[in-house]
């Protein structure tokens, strides 16, 4: 079963409460999304660590319910 953009956003916000999150369904199929996440918690972290925080927030759904997620992460400017 595919995830909704809202479900992805909710999981990220639950794990990273200060995050500004935008999720877009790229193909309209509920399987391919792009997410932009901006959080102060990312400041000073490598891009890899930032992405690992997002994957942890998704609680193991990557590769199962969530087929593909393109990520853009950053700390606020």
Domain with residue 33: its CATH number is 3.30.300.90
Residue whose pair of structure tokens reads 């200060």 in the numeric block? 18
pTM over 0.85: yes
**Domain span including residue 37:** 5-74
Task: Quote the tokens at residue 57.
Answer: 């927030």
Q: In what order do the strands lie in the sheet with 68-74?
A: 20-25, 32-38, 68-74
Say what the pLDDT of residue 63 is.
Answer: 81
Give helix 47-57 / helix 5-15 axis angle, nearest 10°: 110
Q: Per-residue confidence of the chain (77 residues) as pLDDT tens digits?
A: 678 999 999 999 999 999 999 999 998 888 889 999 999 999 999 999 999 999 999 998 888 888 889 999 999 99
């Amino acid at each position: 079963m595919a995830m909704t953009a809202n479900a992805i956003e909710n999981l990220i916000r639950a794990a990273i409460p200060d995050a500004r999150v935008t999720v877009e369904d790229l193909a309209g199929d509920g399987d391919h999304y792009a997410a932009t996440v901006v959080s102060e918690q990312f400041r000073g972290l490598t891009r890899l660590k930032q992405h690992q925080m997002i994957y942890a927030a998704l609680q193991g759904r990557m590769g199962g319910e969530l087929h593909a997620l393109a990520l853009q992460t950053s700390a606020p400017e």
